[in-house]
């Protein structure tokens, strides 16, 4: 619980920054009639033309529905935080993170290009990390923020792979273009790989089993953050991705089977664990997992009722869950606790908060006349029409919704009814800016339940038709007659009421069952972190051990394998007559170089070995001279001479090699094999390159401009001094610093 001061001047920051989401909301409301009429608003600007990446905006029914929810909830959260955080020392930073996250979410749901979508996807991950760890003085907050970052960040990397594969198979990163190539993508050999990578990205972001464990831990964030990130926005990013890619990847057996099974399991896990919690925020966190599972399950279908159920429940859940998170924040803020056993009798001191809680909870439970009731009926209709595992989907939805009915009673009734319990703070109603948001969001559940036809026409139908081509009518009604969905809704209310009154015994049974599970999902996260840490330590000991020889072996060996294996699989062609231009003098120099190599390998004296290396360098300078590059040859000769002199002076202070036991065996054999391999690799690469006509664009540029632009006839010198002068200056600086460091070491040695 965070203390607040309503009269603090900096609390007005929230009132001002709330205008940002309100302005966007007004713009999207203005566009609503055009989108409802079937228009798709599209415009773009070139972002990275060389990669074919455009920053394109696509506003259709699906993106508009998500954008409206993001801005609506964002506005009320901004108002709420103005008093909830009050005079918090980092309030300005909070609103920077919050609005940055909102803009990233808007970018994610509005862009048409998958690469741009990924950029915004990762921005939401970054901002959510900053928001979850906002109270960075807490070890728990830091650990939970890190966990959310690692889990969703790893999923983001998998999604990037999926996007790259999808772009290569569909020949475009445009979502509209991919839809046109959907048949080819589904028949491509990489389809299953694409599906797996996309699922990993969506499942980690939207807390699907087995990645669901990070979401309840993220509840260490303040209540406004939980309401915004973990009910209406961030966790819905994976849901949006699945909906947007439904026409591209959906409709296949792997798609439907995976989403129905994983979504159903997630819904059951979330609802069961919600019943075992006493912290109201953790209760809501697990009910969010349940809702995300339901949404995922219905996006696995391809029938109109199933997909309509997904979009309807998305709106239903966003309204009641954001309201309930804000309500729990008020309870915590005004009483000093959110443990359900420690609060009661808050109806009189918190009347507006009770109204908001009751309205949102009744919608959550699916009571008649509430929008949640309509959403629950369409859920059952969608479950019964699933193409795969309809029985499993129906049972999962029935059990989950029944438990959610009981949870709704726990949230709406227990804190407010009965005698007033003693709490750390004497309860009183929160300021207007705190309760107005949950009251209005909860009231929308009542209002939309009265006018379901309007909601279907203006919000749900355009969203469904944006990713599902159908001629069926998409209608939401309060009463469809006596049918199976209605009967299932009645069973849900009856079963949920029974669970509420037996909640004590049922909670013990569920808690005992969960305690007896041999392995929990979070165990694998901990195990993975330990394995990564062990691998990092092992590799560090192996590679970063201070041995320059080992560094060279690793670097050269990696290059040899990385470049050599593809060459072996696809060997280049070159002719023997490519060596005809070497001539007798060239072969003589090559023979001298080879002899010097043998001398270096067999030398027992360091000085002799260095002299052999000098001969090799001089031989290379001779080759430059033979082939018409005297300036390069002179540079090479000067560098080699200077190197030999400096190294020889240093090596005179070291013991002679012949005083040590000669080393033969595996070490020398490895060095020899590696040296021969990299030598052959470079030779083959040079010969292969010579088989192709070189692009002389850069050469022609320097030939044409060296004298005119830089007034120099020596092209190499002009490049070094003029065209790449900053690079040359950097190299000179490095050499000068190294020389000064060497001089300092020599002075220290003389003094000691």
Do residues 214 and 307 share a domain? no
For residues 305 and 473, what is the distance between their CA atoms, to the nearest angstrom?
A: 10
Q: Are residue 49 and residue 197 in the same domain, yes or no?
A: yes
Q: Cα angle at 471 between 469 and 472, to 5 degrees?
A: 110
DSSP string, 128-179: HHHHHTSSTTSHHHHHHHHHHHHHHHHHHHHHHHHHHHHHHHHT--BHHHHH
Residues of the domain holding 750: 694-752
Q: How many CA atoms lie within 13 A of 199 on its CB side?
A: 24
SS3 content of the chain, % helix, strand, coil (to 5): 75, 5, 20
Which pair of structure tokens corresponds to residue 399? 């059990």
Residue 287's H or E segment, with its range, is helix 280-299
Residue 751 has pLDDT above 70, yes or no: no
Under 8 Å between Cβ of 492 and 484? no
> Does 565 lie in the same domain as 495?
no
Tell me the average pLDDT across 398-415: 90
- Maximum Cα–Cα distance for the chain, whole Å? 107
Beta strands 53-59 and 41-48: pairing type? antiparallel
Check whether residue 173 and residue 244 sit in a common domain: yes
- Cα–Cα separations (whole angstroms), residue 79 to 39, 118, 326, 433: 33, 30, 11, 5
Kindly state whether residues 561 and 651 are assigned to the same domain: yes
pLDDT for 88 = 77
The dihedrals phi and psi of 553, each to the nearest 5 degrees, come to: -60, -45
Same domain, 6 and 135: yes
Summary mean pLDDT of the chain: 86
Distance from C-alpha of 291 to C-alpha of 338, rounded to nearest angstrom: 22
Strands (E), 380-522: none
What the block records as the tokens of 225 is 């953050």
How many residues in the chain? 752
Q: What is the pLDDT of residue 359?
A: 93
Work out the percent of the chain whose per-residue pLDDT is above 90.
41
* Burial class for 279, CB neighbours closer than 10 Å (0-12, 13-18, 19+): middle
Residue 188 belongs to some domain of the structure: yes
What's residue 581's pLDDT?
Answer: 67
Per-residue confidence band for 6, with pLDDT thresholds at 50, 70 and 90: very low
Q: Is the peptide bond before 210 cis (omega within 30 degrees of 0)?
A: yes
Query: Average pLDDT in the 409-414 region?
Result: 88
Q: How confident is the model at residue 146 (pLDDT cuts 50, 70, 90)?
A: very high
> Distance between CA 702 and CA 542 in Å, rounded?
45
457 part of a folded domain? no
With a cut of 90, say whether residue 697 has pLDDT above it. no
Lowest model confidence (mean pLDDT) among 411-420, 438-447, 575-584: 575-584
Q: Residue 10 — very low, low, confident or very high, per pLDDT cuts 50/70/90?
A: low
Residue 380 to residue 383: CA distance in whole angstroms: 5
Identify whether residues 698 and 609 lie together within a single domain.
no
Neighbours of 595 (CB within 10 A): 14
Distance between CA 72 and CA 65 in Å, rounded? 11
Structural element, H or E, at residue 437:
helix 432-450
- Same domain as 430, residue 290: yes
Residue 459 lies in a domain: no
On whether both 648 and 744 belong to a single domain, the answer is: no
Confidence label for 655 from pLDDT (cuts 50, 70 and 90): low
Lowest mean pLDDT among 24-38, 378-392, 456-470, 654-668: 654-668
Indicate the residue among 645, 666, 693 that finishes a domain. 693
Q: In which band, very low, low, confident or very high, does the pLDDT at 351 lie, cut at 50, 70 and 90?
A: very high
Instruction: Give residue 199's pLDDT.
Output: 96
pLDDT category of residue 3 using cuts at 50, 70 and 90 = very low
Rounded Cα distance, 282 and 401, in Å: 18
pLDDT in the model for residue 356? 94
* Half-sphere exposure of residue 420: CA atoms within 13 angstroms, side-chain side: 13
Do residues 106 and 98 make contact, with C-beta atoms less than 8 angstroms apart?
no
**87-111 tens-digit pLDDT:** 777 888 888 999 999 999 999 999 9
Candidates 204, 114, 198; CA nearest to 161 is: 198
Pair 113, 234 in one domain:
yes
pLDDT range class, residue 30, cuts 50, 70, 90: very high
Spatial neighbors of 681 by CB under 8 A, at least 6 apart, are: 559, 560, 563, 564, 567
Structural domain count, the chain: 4
3-state SS, 78-119, equals: HHHHHHHCCCCCCHHHHHHHHHHHHHHHHHHHHECEHHHHHH
Q: Do residues 637 and 624 lie in contact, with contact meaning Cβ atoms separated by under 8 Å? A: no
For residue 45, what is the enclosing H or E element?
strand 41-48
Q: Is the pTM of this model over 0.85?
A: no
Residue 169 maps to a domain: yes
Same structural domain, 680 and 718: no
Mean pLDDT of 497-522: 85
- Tokens 């070189």 appear where? 694
Is 713 contained in some domain? yes
Residues 244 and 299 in one domain: no
Residue 136 and residue 128: Cα distance in Å, rounded? Answer: 13
Residue 478 burial by Cβ neighbours in a 10 Å radius (0-12, 13-18, 19+): middle
Last residue of a domain, one of 249, 281, 314: 249
Quick: pLDDT tens for 176-193: 999 999 999 999 999 999
- Residue 381 confidence (pLDDT) above 60: yes
Confidence label for 438 from pLDDT (cuts 50, 70 and 90): very high
Query: Domain for residue 460, yes or no?
Result: no
High-pLDDT (> 70) share of the chain, %: 94
Give the mean model confidence (pLDDT) for residues 289-314.
93
Q: Measured between alpha carbons, how far is residue 283 from residues 289, 332, 548 in Å?
A: 10, 14, 56
Structural Rg of the chain based on CA atoms: 34
Spatial contact of 236 and 316, defined as CB atoms under 8 Å apart: no
Phi, psi of 300 (to 5 degrees): -75, -15
Distance CA 6, CA 86 (A): 6
What pLDDT does 510 receive? Answer: 87
Residue 522 belongs to a domain: no
Three-class HEC string of 664-676 = CCHHHHHHHHHHH
| Closest alpha carbon to 72 in 223, 224, 228, 219 | 228
Residue 358 lies in a domain: yes
């Amino acid at each position: 619980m965070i203390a607040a001061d309503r009269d603090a001047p900096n609390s007005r920051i929230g009132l001002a920054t709330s205008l940002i989401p309100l302005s966007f909301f007004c713009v999207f409301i203005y566009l609503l009639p055009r989108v409802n009429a079937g228009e798709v608003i599209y415009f773009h600007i070139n972002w990275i033309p060389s990669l074919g990446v455009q920053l394109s905006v696509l506003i259709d029914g699906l993106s508009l529905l998500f954008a409206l929810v993001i801005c609506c909830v964002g506005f009320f959260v901004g108002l709420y935080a103005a008093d909830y955080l009050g005079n918090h020392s980092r309030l300005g930073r909070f609103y920077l993170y919050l609005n940055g996250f909102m803009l990233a979410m808007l970018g994610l749901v509005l862009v048409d290009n998958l690469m741009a979508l990924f950029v915004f996807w990762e921005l939401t991950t970054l901002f959510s990390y900053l928001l979850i760890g906002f109270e960075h003085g807490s070890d728990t907050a830091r650990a939970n923020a890190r966990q959310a970052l690692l889990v969703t960040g790893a999923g983001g990397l998998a999604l990037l792979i999926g996007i790259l594969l999808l772009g290569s198979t569909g020949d475009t990163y445009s979502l509209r273009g991919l839809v046109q190539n959907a048949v080819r993508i589904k028949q491509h050999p990489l389809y299953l790989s694409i599906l797996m990578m996309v699922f990993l990205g969506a499942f980690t972001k939207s807390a699907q089993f087995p990645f669901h464990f990070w979401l309840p831990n993220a509840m260490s964030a303040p209540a406004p953050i939980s309401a915004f990130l973990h009910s209406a926005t961030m966790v819905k990013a994976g849901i949006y991705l699945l909906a947007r890619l439904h026409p591209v990847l959906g409709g296949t057996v792997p798609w439907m089977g995976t989403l129905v099974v994983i979504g159903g399991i997630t819904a059951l896990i979330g609802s069961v664990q919600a019943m075992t919690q006493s912290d109201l925020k953790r209760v809501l966190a697990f009910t969010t997992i349940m809702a995300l599972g339901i949404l995922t399950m219905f996006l696995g279908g391809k029938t109109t009722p199933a997909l309509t159920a997904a979009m309807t429940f998305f709106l239903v859940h966003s309204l009641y869950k954001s309201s309930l998170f804000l309500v729990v924040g008020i309870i915590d803020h005004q009483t000093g606790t959110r443990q359900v056993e420690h609060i009661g009798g808050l109806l009189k001191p918190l009347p507006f908060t009770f109204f908001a809680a009751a309205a949102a909870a009744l919608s959550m439970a699916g009571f008649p006349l509430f929008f949640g009731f309509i959403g629950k009926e369409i859920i059952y209709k969608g479950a019964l029409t699933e193409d795969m595992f309809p029985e499993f989907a129906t049972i999962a939805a029935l059990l989950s919704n029944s438990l959610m009915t009981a949870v709704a009673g726990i949230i709406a009734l227990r804190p407010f009814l009965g005698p007033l319990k003693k709490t750390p703070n004497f309860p009183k109603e929160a300021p207007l800016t705190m309760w107005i948001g949950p009251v209005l969001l909860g009231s929308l559940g009542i209002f939309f339940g009265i006018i379901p036809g309007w909601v279907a026409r203006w919000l749900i139908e355009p969203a469904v038709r944006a990713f599902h081509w159908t001629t069926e009518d998409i209608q939401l009604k309060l009463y469809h007659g006596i049918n199976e969905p209605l009967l299932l809704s009645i069973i849900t209310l009856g079963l949920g009421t029974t669970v509420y009154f037996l909640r004590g015994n049922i909670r013990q049974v569920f808690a005992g069952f969960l305690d007896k599970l041999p392995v929990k999902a979070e165990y694998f996260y901990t195990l993975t972190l330990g394995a990564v840490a062990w691998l990092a330590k092992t590799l560090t000991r192996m590679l970063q051990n201070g041995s320059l020889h080992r560094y060279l072996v690793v670097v050269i060996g990696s290059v040899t394998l990385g470049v050599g294996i593809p060459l072996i699989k696809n060997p280049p062609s070159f002719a023997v007559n490519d060596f005809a231009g070497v001539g007798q003098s060239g072969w003589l120099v090559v023979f001298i170089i080879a002899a010097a190599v043998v001398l270096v390998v067999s030398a027992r004296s360091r000085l002799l070995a260095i002299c052999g290396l000098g001969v090799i360098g001089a031989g290379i300078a001779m080759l430059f001279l033979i082939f018409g590059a005297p300036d390069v040859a002179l540079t090479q000769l000067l560098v080699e001479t200077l190197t030999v002199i400096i190294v020889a002076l240093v090596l005179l202070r070291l013991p002679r090699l012949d005083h040590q036991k000669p080393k033969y065996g595996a070490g020398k054999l490895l060095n020899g094999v590696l040296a021969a391999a990299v030598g052959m690799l470079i030779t083959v690469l040079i010969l292969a390159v010579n088989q192709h006509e070189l692009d002389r664009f850069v050469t022609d540029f320097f030939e044409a401009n060296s004298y005119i632009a830089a007034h120099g006839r020596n092209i190499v010198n002009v490049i070094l001094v003029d065209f790449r002068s900053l690079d040359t200056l950097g190299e000179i600086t490095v050499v000068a610093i190294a020389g000064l460091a060497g001089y300092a070491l020599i002075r220290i040695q003389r003094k000691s």
